Amino acid sequence: MGLQKLATNSFFKSLFDFWKLIRYKNILIISSTQCFSYYFLSPNIGLENLFSSRFILLLCSTFLSAAAGYIINDYMDVKLDMVNKPQSVIIGKTISRRWAILLHSGFNVLAFVLAWQISYRVAILVFVCSLLLWMYSQYFKKSYLLGNLLVAVMTASTIFILIPFDEKANVLGCLAYSVFAFFSNLIREIIKDTEDIKGDSKFNANTLPIKLGIKHTKQILFYLQLCFILMCLSFTILFPTISNVGPVASFQFISYISLLVIIPSIYLLFKLWNADTKKHFTHLSFIAKIIMLLGIFSMIFWKTY
């Protein structure tokens, strides 16, 4: 009875750690973003389209590709994570290194097969994203800026993939939110590198804060954040033209972006100037994530009823 209880506890521990390994919270955000984007940026679809077999295939393919990326990322980063966050290390403890590689390979193959059922264009994009995620983990994660750019591109592709998926999607809307996701994620990734500078420096990483120092990295972040704010302002001004919604929805959108995206972005800009500890950059990373989520949520104003 004791052995059976131990085996049951071990099984649930492994299952729980598996979900942590694939970052289930992040994948839920990715899936929610695709559902939001597809529904609100495709003017001629209803809620029933979110349950169509074709869209479910896209969600599953994206889920598997992202999960594979998180697995290989942790696989390549075990030694580094033992310094930065030893309590969170899973590979080599609950889940063996061999199983991690098998899961990574199997998820990528299945993601490509499911995407091929949709169209060859979607399958090619999924294959390229899977390849870039592997290259990021293997070569570019702790490289000078390139790793940050790759992650930002992968985040943007979550929305951009809707253009080859559905010809009726609002191309301008998908492009606008892809650019928004790219810049907001790029800023957050550089902030996270600054937050982890102590652990990264022990493994000869070549991240932006290690290469240039925290002071110059903060200056780059400051100008990136300033450009991001100006981009959001431009996007807000152009919204009535590129969205084709009525004046009420336009006013609601402008109010929403001003209060929940631009003002928090200005707050982050000023907090960034005085940030100098790990705790400060952890707080900034959280704020940047909230801004990105609130920005994505603004898609609700693109659909008229």
Q: Both tokens of residue 43?
A: 């003017």
Q: What is the pLDDT of residue 99?
A: 87
Q: What is the pLDDT of residue 4?
A: 45
pLDDT at 60: 95
CATH topology of domain 16-169: Tetracycline Repressor; domain 2 (1.10.357)
304: helix, strand or coil? coil
- Give the model's confidence band at 203: pLDDT under 50 very low, under 70 low, under 90 confident, else very high: low
pTM: 0.85
For residue 11, pLDDT over 70 is answered with: no
Convert the pLDDT of each residue in 137-175 to its tens digit: 877 776 777 888 888 898 899 999 999 998 888 888 999
Of 119, 129, 123, the closest CA to residue 54 belongs to 119
* pLDDT at position 206: 79
| H or E element, residue 136 | none
Average pLDDT of span 45-61 = 92
pLDDT in tens, 13-40: 777 888 888 888 888 888 888 998 999 9
Mean pLDDT, all residues of the chain: 86
Asked whether the predicted pLDDT for residue 194 surpasses 60, the reply is: yes
Residue 7 pLDDT exceeds 50 = no
Distance of alpha carbon 204 from the chain centroid: 25
**Tens digit of pLDDT for each residue in 72-92?**
887 777 666 665 666 667 877
Q: Which two tokens stand for residue 97?
A: 């290194």
Q: Would the pLDDT of 196 be above 90?
A: no
**Percentage of residues in the chain having pLDDT higher than 70:** 89
What local confidence, expressed as pLDDT, does residue 86 receive?
62
What's the pLDDT band for 10 if we cut at 50, 70, 90? low
Grade residue 295 by pLDDT with cuts at 50, 70 and 90. very high
At 100 the pLDDT is: 86
pLDDT, residue 154, reads 87
CATH code of 170-305, in short, is: 1.20.120
Other beta carbons within 10 Å of 46: 8
Q: Is the pLDDT of residue 1 over 60?
A: no
Domain ranges of the chain: 16-169, 170-305
The rounded percent of the chain whose pLDDT value lies above 90 is 45
